Amino acid sequence: MKTVLITGSSSGIGKAAALYFAEKGWHVAATMRNPEKENELQKHTNIKLFALDVTQEESVKQALNLVKQTLGKIDVVVNNAGFGADGVFEAMDDAFIQKQFDTNVFGLMRVTREAIKIMREQKSGIIVQIASVGGRVAFPLYSIYHGTKWAVEGFTESLQYEVKDFNIRLKLVEPGAIKTDFYGRSRAFSKPTYTNAYDSFVQKCEAVSMEAGNKGASAESVAKVIFKAANDYSFKMRYPVAYPANVLLPLKRILPERLFFWAVKQSYKI
């Protein structure tokens, strides 16, 4: 049986992926900050829970080593842990920005680094980074979130050259709008309290974003694409999934920049 380690498995895409891999007969190391609070995943015989906080280097090292000791190997790592920060950039202090990057970028890098150490010795492995359509296309009010996802895309695209000789493959799954806690419990929003200059802009943009989230595809649909990427031993790297990723990414390739920006502004009525 193959083994997959998935970060951020307590909800959303991570939880859906853990269940999907387990149903397909894989050993699943479902990691999260507080595994003692998880009740559903621990009922599955193919799933084992492990504590892992991607913002803590020692936690990452201990978790990956423990998974390897417990399950014997790690064939695939899915870097899913993350959250969405949005709002008016002017209102975001350093701590707000740091938290977003520490989870979405530095946390992913910490896990990737430890995964490479294990997979290099194994001479095989696949690392699946959960990026976003927002890693190649940008929308209003998501400047910091886009900053993290564009970083993940560039980091992964460069890193693939370093690890190819060790038979390690890197994959980027790029979801569009997905109906998860991204738009709810895990969302971090910022707006100035000292001015109302942005109120009209925020109102228009939020309405479009929330509607997209409400109409989004299921986390299970992303889990299926993650599974596909985890079993693809070619050097294909990017896997867009769900609207608007499947529409906007091709459009951005063919439209002049000015026209693409115009289309985004029209969709937000700004």
* pLDDT tens for each residue of 41-60: 989 999 999 999 999 999 99
> Which of 83-92, 182-191, 231-240 has the least mean pLDDT?
182-191
Most confident range (mean pLDDT) of 125-129, 238-242, 266-270 is 125-129
Catalytic hit among 142, 145, 183, 239:
145
CA angle (257, 179, 233) in 5-degree steps: 70
Average pLDDT over residues 9-25: 97
- Residue 185: its pLDDT value, please? 61
Which CATH number covers residue 26? 3.40.50.720
- State yes or no: pLDDT of 199 exceeds 90: yes
Residues 6+ apart with CB under 8 A from 192: 88, 90, 91, 198
Instruction: Determine whether 145 is an active site residue.
Output: yes
- State yes or no: pLDDT of 213 exceeds 90: no
Spatial distance between the Cα atoms of 74 and 264, rounded to a whole number of angstroms: 41
- Residue 186: its pLDDT value, please? 61
> Which of 31-35, 183-187, 208-212 has the least mean pLDDT?
183-187
Report the percentage of the chain scoring pLDDT > 70: 97
- State yes or no: pLDDT of 184 exceeds 60: no
Contacts 24+ apart (CB under 8 A), 122-125: 122/73, 122/74, 123/166, 123/167, 124/75, 124/166, 124/167, 124/168, 125/74, 125/75, 125/76, 125/77, 125/167, 125/168, 125/169
Residue 103 corresponds to which amino acid?
T
Confirm whether pTM is higher than 0.85: yes
pLDDT band at 172 (very low <50, low <70, confident <90, very high): very high
- Domain ranges, residue 7: 3-268
Which one is predicted more confidently, 198 or 247?
A: 198
Average pLDDT over residues 259-268: 92
pLDDT band at 214 (very low <50, low <70, confident <90, very high): confident
- Residue 65: its pLDDT value, please? 98
Count of structural domains, the chain:
1
